[in-house]
Amino acid sequence: MTEGTTFFKFCPHCGSQDFVYTNNFKFSCHTCDFVLYHNIAAAVAIVFTHQDKILFTVRNVEPDKGKLDLPGGFIDPDETAEQAACREIKEELGLAIASQELKYITTSPNNYLYKNVAYRTMDIFYECPLSDELIEVAAKDEIKDLIWIRRDQINLQAIGFVSIRKVIQERYLSE
């Protein structure tokens, strides 16, 4: 990852250009000793299942516009992961899902490059079975389309984020 080295050119405290990104999570100013942590951000992803199919979204925004994704998003301050998942599901799909309907699956790290800022995330995965396939996009600005794909027909290369590609491959393709 080299993107992170470019997204701040000056120390936000003193303006010095001797401001380095040393270890993928911390900026340090050699002039005034200011330190800025760029810690891992937490996010959620939901695997909706119906029979042998999985629901994918088609991203309508960068990064990875046009690629397959899962419903989900960043966790807000003071939210639990389950609350974030339920909020994102409501915002993106218009579905009211209760926390108890979400089954924890696993976590997987991801890279999320947005406006030249290299966010590193920890994605928390939940699974939620649905009784039918009738879902519509509520957040049309973010999501271009919804696609149910049979597990044996999933093209991993069409999935944008490395975290989602990994979890789908390891947890859903071999069953």
Question: What's the CA gap between 142 and 70, in Å, rounded?
Answer: 12
Of the listed pieces 14-22, 54-62, 90-98, 109-117, which binds Zn ion according to CB under 5 A? 14-22
- Give the per-residue contact string, 33-52, with Zn ion (x = CB under 5 A; - = no): -x------------------
Least distance CB 174 / Zn ion (angstroms): 51
Place of tokens 């002039």: 31
Structural contact between residues 45 and 70, judged by C-beta atoms closer than 8 angstroms: yes
Contact status: 11 vs Zn ion (CB under 5 A): yes
Closer Cβ to Zn ion, 14 or 156, answer by number: 14
Question: What's the CA gap between 31 and 37, in Å, rounded?
Answer: 17
Contact status: 17 vs Zn ion (CB under 5 A): no
Contact status: 31 vs Zn ion (CB under 5 A): yes
CA distances from 31 to 25, 39, 141 (A): 19, 22, 43
- Which spans of this chain sit near Zn ion (rule: CB under 5 A)? 11, 13-14, 16, 29, 31-32, 34
